Amino acid sequence: MKRFRPDVDAPEYHGPYAPYDIIKEGTIAFLVVAILVVALATLFGSPDEQAVTIRTWSNADPIDFATTALGELNGTTITAHYGAPYNHGSLGQELGPLHLANLVGVTIPVNPIQDFIIAPLSSVPNDHPLRVALAQWHAAPRAERATWVARYTRAAAHMTWSNGHIVVPATRTGPLGVMINSLTQMARSGALDQALVTGHGFYTTDYTKPLLFVADGTYFANLAKHQHLLGAQWGMMNETDSYPGQAWLWLYTFWYQVPPFSSSPNADVQVWAIMMLASLLLLLVPFIPGLRSIPRKVRVYRVIWREHYRSL
């Protein structure tokens, strides 16, 4: 006869049986949860944070918006350096010798200068000064554009918002003053939000570009910090305001708080790899000697079925 192997073989059951109505239990569970949901929603409500758009951002902080737009022209923003799947700005995060995002390639091409600045401005109708400015930009050689941007950037530290206009004390910056001001006006009217989501087929639900643009500024990050939602604040498991959040994501966000991940430029891919490994271990528990014996050795099952074990 084959030897009985604990954790692998199931012993034959010789105890008593009892009828059990699983439909009844399911119905009771559903009703209890439904009553709890209605009662808790009545007591506490639910999060209803207004979406942050380019319009709200540029009205709340036009200087941050204009500075970010300038950063797009400079190629210094997060989007400009992101790499795959948006562009070739960098190789992306690395896991050992692997650049995982780069392996997939640029599947959602985003050119910040063209997509965030030039294309939206080109869609503005009946604006002669802007049309002249764009023509000057297109006609200029790359080196001259870079000189304009560099001069504008040097003076941008003294940028002010005055009488509904961005004012930068800089000269010989070509069309940049008109372009940045027009883009800011466009943003404040809400037209830039619209310009960045249209042009992707019949349904305009692709918010990739406005989201990337908003994330390049400091306004959105400051809002997130205020609401305790940054990665370094265990933000993944938090909700806005005083609502409870996704507490079950504690292990995922835990890794971001401890070295070496807390200071690693590759933390996202490293934490992802650890969690995939942990998930694999969980999935394979029945096949891993030692790990699969834990429930048997901890003997919690004897607490649950204590009456049965007492009668043995």
Partner 1 sequence: MAGLALLAALFPLDHLGGYIHWGWVDISYANAIVVALMVIVFVAALLAPFPGHGRRKESR
Q: Does 300 bind partner 1 (CB under 8 A)?
A: yes
Alpha-carbon distances of 134 from 189, 209, 258, rounded to whole Å? 20, 21, 49
Q: Does 18 bind partner 1 (CB under 8 A)?
A: yes
Q: Does 30 bind partner 1 (CB under 8 A)?
A: no
Closer CB to partner 1, 85 or 245, in the complex: 245
- Which of 135, 144, 158, 241 is close enough to bind partner 1 by CB under 8 A? 241
C-alpha 140/C-alpha 242 separation (Å) is 53
Closer CB to partner 1, 199 or 260, in the complex: 260
Q: Does 16 bind partner 1 (CB under 8 A)?
A: yes
Closer CB to partner 1, 52 or 166, in the complex: 52
Q: Is the CB of residue 49 less than 8 Å from the CB of residue 243?
A: no
C-alpha 142/C-alpha 138 separation (Å) is 9
- Which of 23, 283, 304, 312 is close enough to bind partner 1 by CB under 8 A? 304
**By CB under 8 A, which span of 1-9, 84-92, 143-151, 233-241 interacts with partner 1?**
233-241
Closer CB to partner 1, 126 or 242, in the complex: 242
Residue owning tokens 């008109």: 178
Q: Is the CB of residue 195 less than 8 Å from the CB of residue 55?
A: no
CA nearest 174: which of 204, 147, 155, 156? 147
Q: Does 95 bind partner 1 (CB under 8 A)?
A: no
**By CB under 8 A, which span of 4-12, 60-68, 227-235, 263-271 interacts with partner 1?**
227-235
Closer CB to partner 1, 41 or 277, in the complex: 41
C-alpha 127/C-alpha 40 separation (Å) is 53
Alpha-carbon distances of 191 from 9, 42, 54, 123, 195, rounded to whole Å? 67, 38, 9, 10, 6
- Kindly provide the b/e burial profile for residues 230-265, where b requires at least 16 CB atoms within 10 angstroms of the residue's own CB: bbebbbbbbbeeeeebeeeeeebbebbeeeebeeee
The strand pairing partners of 165, in sequence order, are 162
Please work out the total of residues on this chain that contact partner 1, with binding judged by CB under 8 A: 31
Q: Does 26 bind partner 1 (CB under 8 A)?
A: no
C-alpha 16/C-alpha 73 separation (Å) is 77
Instruction: Please state, as a whole number, how many other Cβ atoms lie within 10 Å of the Cβ of residue 130.
Output: 21
Tell me which residues in 164-203 interact with partner 1 (CB under 8 A).
none
Q: Does 152 bind partner 1 (CB under 8 A)?
A: no
Q: Does 264 bind partner 1 (CB under 8 A)?
A: no
Q: Does 311 bind partner 1 (CB under 8 A)?
A: no
Q: Does 42 bind partner 1 (CB under 8 A)?
A: yes
Q: Where do contacts with partner 1 occur on this chain (CB under 8 A)?
A: 16-19, 41-45, 47-48, 226-228, 233-234, 237-239, 241-245, 247, 257-258, 300, 303-304, 307
